[in-house]
Amino acid sequence: MLLTALLIRRQGAMVRVFEQAGATTPAAARTPQELGVQPGMAWYQLVGQGVLRCPGEGRYYLDPDSWQKLRQHRRRITALVLAVIAVLGLLYAWIRVKAA
């Protein structure tokens, strides 16, 4: 869980670098070296999820729509997990009251 949180934080930092550099279109694509970004696990996940796109020549740009969709998906998953935990907690409490 901690690793996931760190990875998400790193992805957010990487996205901000692209936003600040204005690398949000194919014409404005930059190499990781130009942006001072070291490709790692966070980088490759963003590329795999279509958030960072490569129009060619080792240059990448941020696809803001894909980033927003990924963030919305994460929020939905988090809400679902929290809802399941809450339901399980209520069920546990109800069973304990019934057993007493």
Give residue-wise pLDDT tens across range 53-78.
999 999 999 999 999 999 999 999 99
Indicate yes or no: pTM above 0.85: no
Which residue in 97, 56, 49, 47 sits closest to 70, CA to CA? 49
Structure tokens at 54: 């490569």
2 — pLDDT class (breaks 50, 70, 90): confident
Query: Which residues make Cβ contacts (< 8 Å) with residue 21, sequence separation at least 6?
Result: 28, 30, 34, 35
pLDDT value for 100: 77
